[in-house]
């Protein structure tokens, strides 16, 4: 089955102007200003983008697909994510992981949720481990999990946070070495994704590992690096050594607190978009506290914050649309060692596409060549969604 998308203003993620996109099964096979010769062929579905912007599907590198939270007791556990929430947010590739709760949320459950989302229509990967050290794995080791489990591309750990296991430097380096070895054996990214808290050491252990070991800088991905300016400044220093850092989106953008502000600061400091990603922390808990530090309410994050942050950055921070798209598509694809397959609109790439209207709202989505959403109507839903 062929699909032909006509009249697309393509951001690949760099702007290419008006293009037609030909899709065969799950892959983009041709990209050209005019592919009208395919319109009359049998079994060709023609979709008219109407001049709207078409970009690669977003890649969300931090989603609690099995639900996060739980820090205010069992009733505060966040539900699992639904496929439609990802689709409606423009997300077509997701990296699932565990958070604070690695007890009632298991790596086994994470693996099966990743497989469920994959079966339902979007590309899904996972990390072994959680906040705790020694790392809880499926096979008994980080190396074996990455090497033997197809969906597993790395390991999760928490640093500079009162909820972490406070790993020693040697423990952290051993975990990174294991992730590197597993990645080499399996031909995968072999990532160490670090939840960064607001502790005093900030990125100290990471920067020391980069300086004192032979582990490649691309092995590490610190996340939540927009907690404060000091942490972001250390992340910028890490990027200047060749690393990539991640900033967490929020639904509450202000001039003082937004991903766009931190991204603009990084760009002004000489860091390119090839060294910055933005993720949603989807299904992570968002407790609300009063002035006494007491929890007075609960909410949880959504992948929809990615587009909210994109709009704010473009409209209020002066960041170019193509730069923000790079942060959300081609750079996370590079982090996952999927350059050429994901994060691009080009022949040979997966047919993951998102269509924006003039207000940069998601109106249509294709995931692995299937029409998941078109002109505001969601067509692809999870198995038990109504």
What angle in degrees, to the nearest 10, is found between the helix axes of 321-328 and 259-268? Answer: 100
The answer to whether residue 350 is catalytic is no
Helix (H) or strand (E) holding 28: strand 27-32
CA distance linking residue 241 with residue 12, whole number of Å: 27
Query: Distance between CA 135 and CA 192 in Å, rounded?
Result: 12
Rounded Cα–Cα distance for residues 293 and 337 (Å): 42
Q: Please, which residues bridge with residue 20 across strands?
A: 32
On whether the CB atoms of residues 127 and 155 are closer than 8 A, the answer is yes
Question: What whole-number distance in Å separates Cα of residue 44 and Cα of residue 91?
Answer: 25
CA distance 26 to 384: 24
CA distance 24 to 44: 10
User: Active-site residue among 101, 281, 350, 352?
Assistant: 281
* Spatial separation of the C-alpha atoms in residues 233 and 160, rounded to whole Å: 16
CB 117 within 8 A of CB 94: yes
What are the residues facing 22 on neighbouring strands?
A: 4, 30
- Rounded Cα gap, residues 253 and 284, in angstroms: 17
Give bridge partners of residue 180 from the DSSP assignment.
Answer: none
> Cα-flanking dihedrals φ and ψ of residue 385, to 5°?
-80, 145
Would you state the torsion angle of the CA atoms of residues 351, 189, 139, 181, taken in this order, to the nearest 10 degrees?
150
Other beta carbons less than 10 A from residue 322's beta carbon: 18
> What are the residue numbers of the active site?
281
């Amino acid at each position: 089955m062929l699909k032909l998308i006509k009249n697309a203003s393509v951001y690949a993620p760099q702007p290419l102007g008006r293009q037609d996109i030909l899709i065969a099964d799950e892959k983009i096979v041709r990209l050209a200003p005019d592919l009208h010769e395919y319109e009359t062929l049998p079994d060709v579905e023609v979709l008219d983008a109407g001049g709207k912007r078409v970009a690669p599907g977003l890649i969300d590198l931090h989603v609690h697909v099995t639900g996060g939270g739980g820090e205010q007791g069992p009733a505060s556990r966040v539900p699992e994510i639904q496929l439609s929430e990802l689709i409606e947010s423009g997300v077509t590739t997701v990296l699932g992981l565990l958070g604070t709760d690695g007890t009632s949320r298991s790596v086994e459950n994470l693996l099966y949720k990743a497989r469920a989302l994959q079966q339902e229509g979007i590309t899904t990967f996972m990390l072994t481990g959680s906040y705790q050290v020694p790392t809880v794995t499926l096979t008994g080791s980080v190396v074996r999990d990455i090497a033997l489990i197809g969906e597993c591309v790395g390991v999760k750990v928490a640093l500079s946070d009162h909820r972490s296991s406070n790993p020693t430097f040697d423990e952290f380096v051993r975990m990174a070495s294991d992730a590197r070895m597993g990645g080499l054996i399996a031909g995968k990214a072999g990532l160490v994704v670090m939840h960064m808290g607001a502790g005093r050491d900030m990125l100290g252990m990471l920067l020391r590992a980069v300086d004192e070991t032979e582990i490649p800088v691309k092995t590490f991905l610190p996340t939540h690096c927009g907690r404060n300016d000091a942490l972001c400044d250390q992340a910028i220093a890490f990027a200047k050594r060749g690393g990539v850092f991640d900033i967490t989106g929020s639904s509450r953008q202000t001039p003082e607190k937004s991903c766009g502000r931190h991204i603009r600061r990084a760009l002004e400091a000489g860091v390119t978009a090839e060294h910055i990603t933005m993720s949603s922390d989807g299904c992570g808990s968002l407790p609300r506290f009063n002035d006494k530090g007491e929890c007075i309410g609960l909410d949880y994050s959504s992948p929809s914050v990615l587009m909210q942050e994109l709009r704010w950055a473009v409209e209020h921070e002066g960041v170019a649309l193509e730069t923000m798209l790079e942060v959300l598509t081609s750079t996370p694809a590079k982090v996952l060692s999927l350059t050429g397959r994901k994060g691009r609109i080009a022949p040979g790439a997966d047919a993951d596409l998102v269509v924006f209207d003039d207000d940069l709202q998601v109106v249509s989505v294709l995931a692995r060549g299937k029409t998941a959403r078109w002109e505001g109507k969601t067509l692809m839903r999870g198995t038990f969604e109504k």
